[in-house]
Amino acid sequence: MRIGVPRESVPGERRVALVPETVGRLAKQNNEVVIERGAGVEASFPDSAYEQAGARIVDDAYDAELVVKVQRPSADEVGKLRKGSVLIGFLQPLQDPRYAATLAERGVVALSMDAIPRITRAQPMDALSSQATVAGYKAVILAAERLPKFLPMLTTAAGTIAPAKAFVIGAGVAGLQAIATARRLGAVVEAFDTRPVVKEQVQSLGAKFLEVDLGESGEGAGGYAKELSEEAHRKEVELLAKAVRENDIVITTAASPGRRAPVLITKDMVPTMRPGSVIVDLAAETGGNCELTEPGRVIERDGVTIIGTTNLPSTMPYHASQMYSRNIASLLALFLKDGRLAFDWNDDVIKGTVITNDGRVVHEGTRKLLAPAGPS
C-alpha cells in the first residue's frame, strides 16, 4: 500500500499528518510511505527524519492509494486524488456537505477524523479530543501572556500577591485541560458546564464547579452539550454574567460539530469585567462564544483583551502532529492489514467515520444535509 502525506496547504497550518515515529511502524508493515518534500518541517520533523524512518521524499504525495492529511484538500488537490483511493483528514462534512459530495463524485473513499464515534473503543482514534487537549493548554498560555498579572500567589519582600482568578466555560476535553493548566500555573479556577456529570472531573482538578438549577440536563448525543431551552439558557447567562465579572481570565470552549457556537458572553457583559481581563474564545472558528469575538484576531474592548485566534493546535505543531499521527495509526489498524485494505463495513467505527464510498455519500448526518428540503 502506498501511503502519501502531502504538505498542508491551508495558510497558517503547521501540522503534518504523520510523524516519523508512525511512518517507521507503517513502513515495517509492507507499506510504502511517501512524504511531500518539506511536509513536516514546520512541525520540526525534517525530511531526513522521515527518510531514516523508511519513507521516500517526493514532490507529489497525492499519487498514492491512501492519502493522509490534517486539513481537507483544496479543490485543486481533490483533482489529484486517484479514483478509488482512500483519503483521511479533518474533512468537516457537517459544515460543508457539498464538499463530501465532490469527494463522492471523484470516487474517493473518504474518512473524516472529526466523525470518529465517541465510543470507548474509538478513544485512541479520537483526533478531536487530542487536538482539543492542545487547544485547552495553549489557551491558558495565551491568557497568561496577555494578563497584566501573575497567575500564582506570590509571597515577596513587597508583600503577598493574590493569585489570578480563571473561569472556564465548558468542561469537555479542552475545558478540562484548560482547568488543569491554569491550576498548575497557580490560578484559582472556577468552571461551569450544563452537564452535571462533569462536576466530579472538574473538582478532581482542584477547581470549583459552579452550579445552577437549569431545570434540565445539557447532556446531548455523543457526550456533547445539547442546545438548552430558552428558560434554561436565561438562567445559564445570569450565572455566567456574575462569574465573568469576578474573574481575570475567561476561557470559553462551548461548541458542537456542525452547529454555530452558542453566544454565552454578550457584548454587555464585557464592560463589566475587570480592566486588563482576558477572554480566550476557543469556539472562534464556529462564530465564537463571546458576542464580540473576531475570528482570527486579538482585539481589545473596554479594557478587555478578546483572543479569537483560530486553529490553536497548529501553534504547537510538534506535539499536535504527534498526537494526530497516533490517532491516524490507531484508525489504520482497523482496516490496513499487511499492506492491504480490509474494511469491515459492520464495524461501528468504520460506519461512523467513512463519509463517501463507491461514488456515494454514505455518512448519515451528511446525507440528511444534502437531501432536498420537503414541502413546508
Q: Are the C-beta atoms of residues 138 and 162 closer than 8 Å to each other?
A: no
Mean pLDDT score across all residues of the chain: 93
Q: What digits encode the pLDDT tens for the residues 276-308?
A: 999 999 999 999 999 999 999 999 999 999 999
Helix axes 127-146, 173-184, angle to 10 degrees: 40
CA nearest 108: which of 370, 356, 322? 356
Strands of the chain, DSSP E: 2-5, 32-36, 56-58, 66-71, 86-90, 109-112, 154-156, 159-161, 165-169, 188-192, 208-209, 249-252, 278-281, 298-301, 304-307, 336-337, 340-341, 354-357, 360-361
Q: What digits encode the pLDDT tens for the residues 295-348?
A: 999 999 999 999 999 999 999 999 999 999 999 999 999 999 989 999 999 999
The DSSP result for 33-100, as a single string, is EEEETTTTGGGT--HHHHHHHT-EEES-TTSSSEEEEEEPPPHHHHTTSPTT-EEEEE--TTT-HHHH
What's residue 206's pLDDT? 96
Q: What digits encode the pLDDT tens for the residues 10-55?
A: 999 999 999 999 999 999 999 999 999 999 999 999 999 999 999 9
Helix axes 317-335, 127-146, angle to 10 degrees: 170
What are the sequence ranges of the domains in the chain?
A: 2-115+338-368, 132-315
CA nearest 252: which of 260, 264, 241, 243? 264
Q: Is the pLDDT of residue 233 over 80?
A: no
CATH classification for the domain delimited by 2-115+338-368, as one of 3.40.50.720, 3.50.30.10, 3.40.50.2000, 3.40.190.10: 3.40.50.720
Asked whether this chain's domains 2-115+338-368 and 132-315 adopt the same fold, the reply is: yes
Percent of the chain predicted with pLDDT > 90? 87
Please tell me the distance from the alpha carbon of residue 295 to that of residue 254, in angstroms, as a whole number: 15
Question: What are the catalytic residues?
Answer: 118, 123, 126, 129, 224
Q: Is the pLDDT of residue 223 over 60?
A: no
**CATH architecture observed for domain 132-315:** 3-Layer(aba) Sandwich (3.40)
